[in-house]
Structures are given as C-alpha cells and as structure tokens.
Amino acid sequence: MKLKDSRILVTGGSSGIGKATASLLAESGARVAITGRDPDKLKKTADEMGVVSIDLDQSRYEDIPVKLPTAVKELGGLDVLINNAGIGAPGAMGELTAEKFERVFSVNVFGLALLTQEAVKIFKGQDYGHIVNVASTAAINGYPGGSVYGASKFALRGMSQCWQKELRKHNIRVMLINPSEVPTAFGRADRSERAEVERKLTSVEIAHAIISALEMDDRGFIPELSIWATNP
C-alpha cells in the first residue's frame, strides 16, 4: 500500500512502539490518529507529532462503537488499524488470579477484538483494509511467569490466523508482528519510558517492521513477522 494520505489508527500510541510507529507514519505523509488511556499524555504526544488524539481505554467496551467513528471522522476515513495497545501482569503458578486474567484479556484480547470488529465493518464496506496486530514473541514461546500475558498473546495470534482466513476475500490484509524484548514504558505504573539498552531492540525497529509490512504491494501480505535483537 501507499502510506501517503492513507488514514491510519494506532492504538496505544502515546509511548513506546505505538508512538514510534505513529511518528514514522506521519513523517511518511499518512494521516494518523493515536489512542491512549491518559488524556493529558495522549494530547501532548499527539500535538508533538502533529497527529489526532482519541481518548480511548479499550477495556471499556461500551466506548468502542462511539470512539471509533470519532477517529474515522477526524481522519476522513480508515485504511489501517494498528492494534498496539496492550498491558501485562506477572503471574507465576501460585500467584494466578481471575482478576489478573480478566484485566489483561479485557485489553489485549476482548477490547482489541471488539475494536477490530468495528473497523472491519468499514473495511468490508470499501472492500479494502489493513489490520496489524502487535503481539510478542511470547505469542510463540512461553516463559516462566508468563501465564497471563503469554496466554493473551497466544490468543491474539490465534485470532489473527482466523481473521486472515476469514477476511482475505474482502481484500483485508491481517498481519501479526511479534517483537522480542523492547525497553518501553510497558508494565510501569507511572508509564515512564525505560532507557534504551545497548544491543536490545528499540521501538523504532518494530515501527520499521510494521511499516515495511504495510508497504508491500496489496497483492500480497506477510501473515506473521517476528523481530529479534541480533545479539542481545
């Protein structure tokens, strides 16, 4: 697809991977909107990048059918949904609770799916669209203490595969991106960004991977792409 003048919604766009992706997309000439749960931080970030801000906590399911049309109106349409918003919770065996699963799945799985469903209505109507789901290498390889977060990303991987088979006939490309460890604000209560670590990935590498996948000609798509640090 051509990025210039395309209409793109990036969830979780006020920091980390979402912010880096939105910034590079805007620099490429796309019309971009970002979502986030902290209205002040979201507005500040959006203003700095020259993009649209949409205050949305996708765990509040009732807000999704209201806020997505707002984003579409601000952008003048919708060509791409990048599902980047996500949260985590540590959960070793013996520490698992229903509340942890419900909190993480409400954002990473349920809210994401309901938001995507609303976007798909638009994409089907125009017989064209692109969905990028940002998962994790935790979606393909479990790790100690990852029962909650890993399960949510395994679920996202499974949903992505189902959507790929369901939506191709509508010219809708569904792509799954699996970053390995990236120091960001993820998991921090105050949402402050972690410092970059030499040899570990940064948000920019993931943003580059997302954009490269989108820029492939529409006749093809990359179903799944994992990004590893070369020598961490």
Tens-digit pLDDT profile for residues 152-171: 999 999 999 999 999 999 99
**Residue 183: pLDDT band by 50, 70, 90 thresholds?**
confident
Q: What is the pLDDT of residue 191?
A: 59
Q: Average pLDDT over the chain, rounded to whole?
A: 95
Average pLDDT of span 164-184: 95
Read off the pTM.
0.95
Is the pLDDT at 194 greater than 80? The verdict is no
Query: What is the bridge-based pairing of β-strands 80-83 and 129-134?
Result: parallel
Domains of the chain: 7-227 (3.40.50.720)
Average pLDDT of span 19-28: 98
Mind listing the pLDDT tens digit for each residue in 64-123? Answer: 999 999 999 999 999 999 999 999 999 899 999 999 999 999 999 999 999 999 999 999
Provide the annotated active-site residues.
Answer: 149
